[in-house]
Amino acid sequence: MQCSRFLVSGFCGVAGLMGVLLPVLAADQTVRPGSFYMSKNLQALQADDIANPGMLWVSDGESLWKQPVGRTQKSCASCHDAADVTMKGVAARYPAVDAESGELFNLEKRINTCRTRHQGAEALAYETDELLALTAYVAHQSRGERVKVHIDGPAAPFYEAGRKRFYTRVGQLNLSCAQCHEANAGRRLRGDTISDGVGSGWPAYRLEWQTLGSLHRRLRACSLGVRARQFDFGSPEYLSLELYLAKRAEGVRVEAPAVRR
Amino acid sequence: MARAPVRISMPDEAKKGEIVDIKAILRHPMETGYRVDNVGKKIPRNIVTDMTVTYGGVEVMRWKLQPGVAANPFIGFSTVAIETGELVFTWTDDTGQVFRESRMLTVT
């Protein structure tokens, strides 16, 4: 295992010891949702719809869903009616290729394209409360549904790009996603447990941020952590990685809005 | 943006003498006053300092909040159903902003 100064010497020592004492997790072991690695208290916080702070954004999203916007003065509900029916299961199928543009869309990009294409409104910036609220509201409708994305046909090149990114070493620490989230999932990294690298809980309320955040914000934090280049929110690099993560997490249930450390 | 900064969970009805569990969360940054922005300027403190709950005009719960309380303060508490009345939840923050929300409790 590659040790680095960033991971503090204590981690390397402890991890090295654990390698002797604990059976090494097989790489093909079932991928688990992020909540699996959280404390019982945090799992309870996520499961309680009042205590889970992410539900504040879901409430906001519910009112935004019905609010007319843009030139056309159409709301999301004008076309999509009740989100609990029409949006059920949608988050579990995303990211997906948009037939019209041939581009890979995640929920954020789909919402923004709806705004520019059909509502005559401006696209919302990533991490604004409005976009987070709408994304959380749409994703929440799929809570409990199992992730299942398409990776064939037009999605194949995106999937391949994402897979490559997952296994490519990057940054000053020279680590790939897989070295933590596949080879060492379930082990300790500093004060936290390494997850399987699953995006099914996002947008999630991250305690470190004290706010809801998108998956791309989380990926940027990962990139920063290994001292690699951070790509833009909604960049093709993160979008294809998001697709790979979703395929990897096939069968895991959507938890949005999750609570994460 | 139409905001719903408060979420409250409690039963609409309760039997007389029954213990009623109540949960409430307020959306608030709880800015501690100890942080600086990216040019080194101090971010002024803005925390919720007080939360009170009255039931039929009588105070049943008071919470003094400190800067150590995380953003979006959540609290769970209980009270005894005495008579049909309104529960009024009030939060006050450092800027003087008051958040108020009420729920009816029907006692049978």
Quote the domain boundaries for residue A107: 58-140
Mean pLDDT, chain B, integer: 92
What is this structure's pTM? 0.86
**Higher pLDDT pick, A14 / A209:** A209
The pLDDT of residue A6 is above 60: no
Are B45 and B66 spatial neighbours (Cβ–Cβ below 8 Å)?
no
pLDDT tens, position by position, A123-168: 999 999 999 999 999 999 999 999 999 999 999 999 999 999 999 9
Q: Which of A53, A59, A64 sits opposite B72 (nearest CB)?
A: A53
What is the C-alpha separation between A136 and A132, in angstroms, rounded?
Answer: 6
How many cross-chain Cβ pairs, A to B, lie less than 8 Å apart? 46
| Helix, strand, coil share of chain B (percent; to 5) | 0, 55, 45
Q: Contact B4/A59, CB-based, under 8 Å? A: yes
Identify whether residues A153 and A255 lie together within a single domain: yes
Q: What is the CATH number of the domain that holds A220?
A: 1.10.760.10
Lowest mean pLDDT across A97-111, B3-17, B50-64, B84-98: B3-17
Q: What is the CATH number of the domain that holds B27?
A: 2.60.40.10
The answer to whether A128 faces chain B, any CB pair under 8 Å, is: no
**Per-residue pLDDT, A105:** 95
pLDDT tens, position by position, A176-189: 999 999 999 999 98
A189 domain residue, yes or no: yes
Identify whether residues A174 and A212 lie together within a single domain: yes
What is the C-alpha separation between A176 and A164, in angstroms, rounded?
Answer: 10
- Coil vs helix vs strand at A163: helix
Closest CA to B72 of B5, B1, B3: B5
Provide the pLDDT confidence category of residue B56 given band limits of 50, 70 and 90: very high
Q: In the listed set A72, A106, A140, which residue is the last one of a domain according to the structure?
A: A140
Query: Which of B26, B34, B43, B74 best tests the A interface by mutation, with the highest count of A CBs <10 A?
Result: B74
Lowest mean pLDDT across A8-12, A162-166, A175-179, A194-198: A8-12
Lowest mean pLDDT across A24-38, A113-127, A143-157, A225-239: A24-38
Identify whether residues A92 and A209 lie together within a single domain: no
The 3-class SS string of chain B reads CCCCCEEEECCCEECCCCEEEEEEEECCCCECCCCECCCCCECCCECEEEEEEEECCEEEEEEECCCCCCCCCEEEEEEECCCCEEEEEEEEECCCCEEEEEEEEEEC
Quote the domain boundaries for residue B93: 6-107
Number of structural domains in chain A: 2
The answer to whether A41 faces chain B, any CB pair under 8 Å, is: no
**Per-residue pLDDT, A5:** 43
Mean pLDDT score, A75-104 = 94
**Per-residue pLDDT, B98:** 92
Provide the pLDDT confidence category of residue A29 given band limits of 50, 70 and 90: low
Identify whether residues A66 and A165 lie together within a single domain: no
Mean pLDDT score, B15-40 = 94
Q: Which of B4, B25, B30 sits opposite A50 (nearest CB)?
A: B25
Are A113 and A98 spatial neighbours (Cβ–Cβ below 8 Å)?
yes
The answer to whether B35 faces chain A, any CB pair under 8 Å, is: no
